[in-house]
Each structure stands twice: as structure tokens, then as C-alpha cells.
Amino acid sequence: MKDKVRVRFAPSPTGGLHIGGVRTILFNYLFAKHHNGEFILRIEDTDQTRFVEGAEEYIYNCLNWCGITADESTINGGEYGPYRQSERKSIYRKYAEQLVKDGHAYYAFDTAEELESKRQVIENFRYDHTSRKHLRNSLTIPHEAAENLIKEGAPHVIRIKMPDDEQVAFTDLIRGDIAFNSSEVDDKVLLKADGMPTYHLAVVVDDYLMKISHVFRGEEWLPSAPVHILLWKYLGWANEMPKWAHLPLILKPDGNGKLSKRDGERFGFPVYPINWIDNASGKKSDGFIEAGFLPEGFINMLAMLGWNDGTDQEIFGMEELIAKFSLDRIHKAGAKFDYEKAKWYNGEWIKASSAKHLLNHVKPILNQKGVNTSDDDYLLKIIDMVKERCVLLTDFYEQASFFFVAPDKWDTNSVKPKWNADKEAFFVTFTEQIKGKEDLSSTELEKVFKDLAAEKKIKVGELMLPLRIMLVGGKFGPGVFDIVYQIGVEETTNRINNALNAFK
């Protein structure tokens, strides 16, 4: 057992970072923090993925938004760096060669095309302990011939030599004891022809060198765990092998497989934390930020997808998650993603947040939609008035914009059927009565309104809705007289007059 908890996650900068990845990172992070350990980020920039513009920054942005600190210095400043896979090439080569020397790996000269054509012809073809005897590799061709090929620079890969019929057993922190028969696993490529390692080699070498104590990753890695276990053994590091935990997957809402990056479009909800433009297709996917999520709501939702503290509590902040996180409360089964519940978490966080905290999130949304909110004190009051009716931050536009901008469209269908000259006259008189009385409170305004209604013998109920629609445009929003009070008597009068024309 290592003396200190150290976990790491290796995001690949090509595909963006979708919620499955963020959740894995989150669990790594929570575990590390809970045990006062360290969290390392290693960038999985293989040759074909390294040049995606801005991809690393995107990952940092996502994590920082969530409250997990990550930036360029995380990658460059760590004591076990370099953390970019592309900068560690020679390290991987060295260990791969050592495995060959020790008889646990071999050079294979078959081209990708050759193997592909075999797959076409032979059903379920695998490069394994049986088929390797008939393929072009350093086990089948004479030693010197193989050496010469290497010297001549012939393209080759290094594959692990999986033993025949050996039980490879290990303990998963979430699933318990798991065993595989080595014959069932193929001879995975360790080092590719371009000199880059595959995940299998990289994860073992880096975890050893970076003194990683625990590996948390998605359940999809379970079948290749025996390769990694064997590598730890063959490299002579068995005593320092980290503990393994395979996290349950996040599934599609329709139960049809694991949630993938393209599912956002199909199901109509975000799957990325921040809007992401796919490099290959140029397709833009909205993120949780753009959908109006608070980082707290997002993290809370993600953490509950596969974990709970055993009580009925549903709302957790990051600090509390760190304090209460424990491995034995992670589930074994995958969880279908439920966007409705995700929104509910967010709504709870909006209601629980102070107006001050919400201001920084709400202001840009309003401004972006052309609503001028220069007076922060006023905005703060408005946020407090409407936050309980917002589930997403974007809801603040509909719920708050009429405090700043008069409606130019009215839900006249809700007014016109019962509209008449008496009511019109009522509103004209009402504006005259409140004229210049800017210091009236909302209850006083209400009293003026009701007294006048009584005098004119019109039911108050028949006047409230028209007033609301005049001020707001539709059937929503906080108490009408609170609105009148906030926007002021003069603005109220203007809006009534405008609407009176529209109702004719």
C-alpha cells in the first residue's frame, strides 16, 4: 500500500470531455480529497489527437467550472511530469523493450491491413496465443531475421505475450474478486508502429512512475484489466500495483447502451459540460453551462449517478461530497441518465443560492439577450423575487426580463373575451390616481387598486389578470403589485397605456 492516495485521470483531448468522463474525474477527485491525497491529470495526446486546437484548454475550462482546479501548470508543474503522453515516448519504448527481452512481449511485423483482411476471412479472428504461431512476429521468424528487420526500420509493433491458460485474478474495490483466463485475452498491442504506447502500456508505466495508489475508471475497462495486471507483474512491480475500481457506466435514457457523445443531439439534452465543437465533423454541441446549469447542480447530479451516502439526502455540495464520499457506496449497476432529475437538482441549487451568488451567472444571460442590467442592486432584488420559479439559469430571461424591458406582445387572448369599456376606464382612472406617487408600497398600491375596483363595482379578480398581462405580457411572474412597486409608477402607467391601445 502506498503511503499516500494518488489518483490520476487521463483525458484524451480529441473528443472533448463528456459527462461520463467528468464523472470519472469527479470520483477520482472526491476520493483523493477525502483521503487528503493528490489528484493528477495526464493528457492522453496520442499522435493523431495531439493537434486539436484548444482541446486541452477545453478540458481545463470544464474542470475549473466544476470546481476542480486544473490548468497548464497542473500539466507542466507536477513533480512526476511530463504529463503529456507525447512527451513520454522514450519512457514507454524502454519498458516495452524490457518486456520483449524478458520474454513477456514480442515484435510483430504484420501490417494493420494484413490483419484487417484476416478479420474479413476468419470469423472472430484474434491475435492471441494460438494465432500468433502463424503470424509474422519475433516468435515465429528466426531471431536474427527479426533483429535485421528492426535494424532496417521495418514497421513493427510490440505485443504482450499472453500466457496460455492461466488464471489472472484481482480484487476490484467495487465488484470484489474477479478472475479471467489468460487464454481468453488477445495479445494486445503495447507499442504502436508510430512509437506511441497504447493505453495498456501507458496506464501501467505512468501509474507506476507517478506512484498512483488507486485507479478509478469506467467499467468498460474491466475486460482489459488482466492485461494490466500481468504487465504490473511482468515489469516486476507487482508489490506496488494500485488498487482497482471499475465505475458503473452512465447509460442512455432509453436503456440502449452507454451514453455517448452523440446522444445529446438525439435526446435533446447536453452531454458536455461546456459547448463543444467536434473537430472532425465541425458539429457544435451545447453544454450544461449553455443550458443554464449551475456548477453546483451539475456536480450534485453527477455525483448521485452511481453513488449516495445511504441516507435520504439528495442535495450535496462539493465540500460535503468530499467529506462523505466512500467507495463502498458506489453502485455496481449502470445508471440511465435522467435529464428531468438533472434539472431538478439545478432548480434546488438555484433556490438555495443567494441572489449575490446567482448574479454572476444571471447577468451575462440577460445581457446576452439584450436586457440591460446596469443596476446590480435592482437586479439582486429581482433575482430574489423570481429565483424560486427558475429551474435553469436561462429561465431568468423569461422570469426577469420584464422588470427591465416593457413587453411588446401581450397574451391578449386571455384578456379580450372579457374586456369592455368599464375596465378600460378603470385603468385610465387607476393611472391617474397613482400618478406621481412613487413612494407607495406594494400593499398601498394594492389598496388603491382594490378601493377603486369597489367604487367602480368591478370584481378585483377580473382586473388582476389584465393588469398582469399589461405589465408582464403573459400569465406568469411574481405578485403584480410587487412588480408595480419594482418597476415604478411611471413605468407602470406607460405600460398600461401601451396595452390599452393594443387591447382595443
Partner RNA sequence: GGCCCGUUCGUCUAGGGGUUAGGACGUUAGAUUUUCAUUCUAGAAACAGGGGUUCGAUUCCCCUACGGGCUACCA
Residues 375-394 that bind RNA (CB under 7 A): 388-389
Of the residues 37, 334, 466, 473, which one makes contact with RNA according to CB under 7 A: 334
Cα separation of the two ends of the chain: 81
Contact call for residue 153 and RNA (CB under 7 A):
no
Instruction: Round to whole Å and give the CA distance between 182 and 159.
Output: 14
Q: Which stretch binds RNA (CB under 7 A): 92-100, 172-180, 357-365, 423-431?
A: 172-180
Going by C-alpha positions, the residue among 344, 335, 249 that lies closest to residue 294 is 344
- The residue among 192 and 214 lying less far from RNA, judged by its C-beta, is 192
Strand partners, 180: 168
What is the nearest approach in angstroms of RNA to the Cβ of residue 436?
Answer: 25
Question: Is 249 in contact with 220 (CB distance < 8 Å)?
Answer: yes
Q: Which amino acid, one-letter code, is at 489?
A: V
Contact call for residue 10 and RNA (CB under 7 A):
yes
Q: How many alpha carbons lie under 13 Å from residue 169 in its C-beta half-sphere?
A: 3
- The residue among 4 and 384 lying less far from RNA, judged by its C-beta, is 384
User: At which residue does the C-alpha cell 434539472 appear?
Assistant: 343
User: DSSP character for 258?
Assistant: B
- The residue among 3 and 312 lying less far from RNA, judged by its C-beta, is 312
Element (H, E) at 176: strand 176-181
Going by C-alpha positions, the residue among 247, 202, 214, 184 that lies closest to residue 94 is 202
Look up residue 97 and give its three cell numbers.
523493450
The residue count for binding RNA (CB under 7 A) is: 77
- The single residue of 188, 261, 343, 423 carrying the catalytic annotation is 261
CA-to-CA dists, residue 425 to 250, 434, 453, 471, angstroms: 61, 15, 11, 17
What is the nearest approach in angstroms of RNA to the Cβ of residue 50?
Answer: 11
Contact call for residue 155 and RNA (CB under 7 A):
yes
Contact call for residue 370 and RNA (CB under 7 A):
no
- The residue among 242 and 374 lying less far from RNA, judged by its C-beta, is 242
Look up residue 16 and give its three cell numbers.
472533448
Contact call for residue 169 and RNA (CB under 7 A):
no
Q: Which stretch binds RNA (CB under 7 A): 171-179, 235-243, 278-286, 416-424?
A: 171-179
Residues 178-217 that bind RNA (CB under 7 A): 178-181, 184, 186, 189, 192-194, 196, 198-199
- The residue among 321 and 480 lying less far from RNA, judged by its C-beta, is 480
CA-to-CA dists, residue 25 to 17, 30, 153, angstroms: 10, 9, 40
What is the nearest approach in angstroms of RNA to the Cβ of residue 367?
Answer: 23
Going by C-alpha positions, the residue among 285, 269, 266 that lies closest to residue 277 is 285
The three state secondary structure string of 450-476 is HHHHHHHCCCCHHHHHHHHHHHHCCCC
Of the residues 314, 384, 444, 491, which one makes contact with RNA according to CB under 7 A: 314
- Complete edge-to-edge strand list for the sheet that includes strand 176-181: 176-181, 167-172, 243-247, 214-218
388 burial class (0-12, 13-18, 19+ CB within 10 angstroms)? exposed
Contact call for residue 416 and RNA (CB under 7 A):
no
- The residue among 73 and 311 lying less far from RNA, judged by its C-beta, is 311
What is the nearest approach in angstroms of RNA to the Cβ of residue 88?
Answer: 13
What is the nearest approach in angstroms of RNA to the Cβ of residue 119?
Answer: 7
What is the nearest approach in angstroms of RNA to the Cβ of residue 374?
Answer: 26
- The residue among 38 and 348 lying less far from RNA, judged by its C-beta, is 348
What is the nearest approach in angstroms of RNA to the Cβ of residue 447?
Answer: 11
Instruction: Round to whole Å and give the CA distance between 135 and 36.
Output: 50
Of the residues 235, 477, 493, 499, which one makes contact with RNA according to CB under 7 A: 477
Residues counted in the chain: 504
> String of b and e for 452-490 (b: at least 16 CB within 10 Å)?
bbeeeebeeeebbebbbbbbbbeeebbebbbbbbbbebe
What is the nearest approach in angstroms of RNA to the Cβ of residue 423?
Answer: 14
Contact call for residue 165 and RNA (CB under 7 A):
no
Contact call for residue 415 and RNA (CB under 7 A):
no
Residues 246-305 that bind RNA (CB under 7 A): 248-249, 251, 255-258, 304-305
- The residue among 150 and 375 lying less far from RNA, judged by its C-beta, is 150
Contact call for residue 448 and RNA (CB under 7 A):
no
Contact call for residue 331 and RNA (CB under 7 A):
yes
Q: How many alpha carbons lie under 13 Å from residue 326 in its C-beta half-sphere?
A: 5
Q: Which stretch binds RNA (CB under 7 A): 271-279, 291-299, 324-332, 492-500?
A: 324-332
Active site residue 435: no
Residues 97-136 that bind RNA (CB under 7 A): 110-112, 115, 119, 124-127
Look up residue 422 and give its three cell numbers.
368599464
- The residue among 4 and 351 lying less far from RNA, judged by its C-beta, is 351
What is the nearest approach in angstroms of RNA to the Cβ of residue 36?
Answer: 25
CA 216 from centre of chain = 17
Contact call for residue 465 and RNA (CB under 7 A):
yes
- The residue among 104 and 228 lying less far from RNA, judged by its C-beta, is 228
What is the nearest approach in angstroms of RNA to the Cβ of residue 262?
Answer: 13
Residues 25-64 that bind RNA (CB under 7 A): 44, 46
Of the residues 341, 356, 369, 437, which one makes contact with RNA according to CB under 7 A: 341
CA 374 from centre of chain = 32
- Give the count of beta carbons closer than 10 Å to the beta carbon of residue 183: 14
Catalytic residues: 261
